[in-house]
Amino acid sequence: MNELELIKIAKLAAENAYIPYSGFTVGAALLTKDGKIYSGCNIENASYSPTNCAERTAFFKAVSEGERDFTAIAIVGGKDRNFTDYCSPCGVCRQVMAEFCNKDFKIILGRNDDYKTFTLGELLPENFSLKE
């Protein structure tokens, strides 16, 4: 599974985004260590705060199926299902990633024509953790 394949799955997942309030579509594709993929989209709510980001949808689907080991996540996002810019994960999603992934977990930000990659250590240095 390479970066472009994972981005393609994130774009497919974005098609299911439930976005009546922001019109901002996000899709994510989370790769487990044994090669399985869990996708997710953002799901908004009239009360706003229950809104779930695409990244957390993917993580919660995977974790609730018993997955604990992750290698990478691809993320795409944009207005009107147009991925002209990179969509970087919000702080809450970074903290959820830090609960289950180590510093070398790969975060792939895709857009229409290209992508760039970061590690979780780069995007959330010195994260809060209660793990030994």
Q: Are 102 and 122 in contact (CB under 8 A)?
A: no
Cβ atoms within 10 A of the Cβ of 126, count? 6
Residue 24 touching ligand THU (CB under 6 A): yes
Of 33, 69, 90, 103, the one binding ligand THU by CB under 6 A: 90
**3-state secondary structure (DSSP) of residue 1:** coil
What is the separation, in whole angstroms, between the first and last Cα of the chain? 31
Binding to ligand THU by residue 51, rule CB under 6 A?
Answer: yes
Please tell me whether residue 39 binds ligand THU under the rule CB under 6 A: no
When asked if residue 120 is in the footprint of ligand THU (CB under 6 A), the reply is: no
- Pick the piece of the chain touching ligand THU (CB under 6 A) from 31-39, 50-58, 97-105, 115-123: 50-58
Sign of CA dihedral 83, 88, 90, 95: positive
Longest Cα separation, the chain: 43
Question: Which residues between 60 and 89 bind ligand THU (CB under 6 A)?
Answer: 89
Binding site for ligand THU (CB under 6 A): 19, 22, 24, 26, 42, 44, 51, 53-55, 89-90, 93
